[in-house]
Amino acid sequence: MVSTPADEIAHDFPPFFRVYKDGRVERFHNYVYVLPSDDPNTGVRSKDVNNNSARLYLPKITENNQKFPLLIYIHGGGFSIESAFSTGHDKYLHSIVTKANVVAISVDYRLAPEHPLPICYDDSWAVIKWAALHVEMSDHLITEPWLKDHVDFSRVFLAGDSAGANIVHDMMVRASASEKPLGDGFKIVGMALIHLFFGNDEPDEYCSFVFPGCTGLDDPRLNPALHFRLLSSLICLKILIFTTEKDVMRGRSLAYYDALKKSGWKGEVEIMETQGEDHVFHLLEPTCEKAGVLMKRLVDFFNEKI
């Protein structure tokens, strides 16, 4: 029996995807889409916004004109799987919003390999710029009222897991590139990076495939620990890094932490390591004790006084 291009594999990257010679992409993980909803138990409400590029979460309102910090969250998945609209990430955002009492925007970016990097970065930046427009715009027919009425834009946080943490770092670099790229009143005070997906000084076939236009092993989006100048100019006041004992990328998180401390950056950085666990264990087992410890530290981080 003669094989056809539909059967022949051109590129194979478990646990993410394989590409066949006819161009077809087969993902090893297909997320389960969940609709936005209102939770009667927690009072958290959600809806999809900005042409379905993000899901917006509003905590329970207990006072008129109540204002909350804003969390902009970016999901992981190797740049090629998962979604802001997946069951797992939707539940996790509901939990963060309930416990931390923040308004949250969960970004949904286009996935590689059909949409190679840097598309995910540009999509995420577009959502952040859309959110920043609400600081000064007053027309409720144009703006999103949950943001306009209930966000304290002087307390904005960025957070993400795995590849999402990689994207979050790049968003902070972009926000720090000029004095006020997002306008007056939109202040990113901190970022939380959970189980970072960065490259290192070794060739990486996967990263080269999903990011064909990168500048190589020293690309600042894949290996930021080599770029002290960019790190030293970050505008946020504090950074919280999470890693785990068994994470294959643990060393890259430690290198990023050390580089931040050596770069001359004036903010506060903390790293928290979970013993005995692997990459993104908190999403795979969100009800386990150690996931609860991670969640508590994350919530405390968003609620600390600046």
Question: Each residue of 238-273: pLDDT tens digit?
Answer: 999 999 999 999 999 999 999 999 999 999 999 999
Rounded CA gap, 157 and 239, in Å?
Answer: 10
Instruction: State whether residue 10 is helix, strand or coil.
Output: strand
Q: What is the pLDDT of residue 77?
A: 98
Q: What is the pLDDT of residue 139?
A: 66
Rounded CA gap, 267 and 103, in Å?
Answer: 24
What's the distance, CA 153 to chain centroid? 19
Give just the sign of the alpha carbon dihedral 195, 200, 202, 207. positive
Instruction: Please name the fold of domain 31-303.
Output: Rossmann fold (3.40.50)
What's the distance, CA 156 to chain centroid? 14
Give the residues of the chain that fall short of pLDDT 70: 1-5, 138-142
Residues of the chain with CATH 3.40.50.1820: 31-303
> Residues 27, 204, 127, CA angle at the centre, nearest 5°?
60
Q: What is the pLDDT of residue 105?
A: 98
Q: What is the pLDDT of residue 183?
A: 86
pLDDT digits (tens, 9 = 90+) for 105-151: 999 999 999 999 999 999 999 999 999 999 987 666 568 999 999 99
Active site residues per annotation: 162
Considering only CA atoms, which of 127, 78, 77, 123 is closest in space to residue 104? 127
Q: Which residues contact 253 (CB under 8 A, 6 or more apart)?
A: 193, 195, 196, 198, 241, 242, 243, 247, 271
Length of the chain equals: 306
Q: Which residues contact 115 (CB under 8 A, 6 or more apart)?
A: none
pTM for this one?
Answer: 0.96
Q: What is the pLDDT of residue 1?
A: 52
Q: What is the pLDDT of residue 227?
A: 96
Residue 128, classified by CB atoms within 10 Å of its CB into exposed (0-12), middle (13-18) or buried (19+), is buried
Residue that is written with structure tokens 């908190």 in the block: 282
Judge whether 197 and 224 are in contact, CB under 8 Å: no
Q: Is-cis flag, bond preceding 15, omega within 30?
A: yes
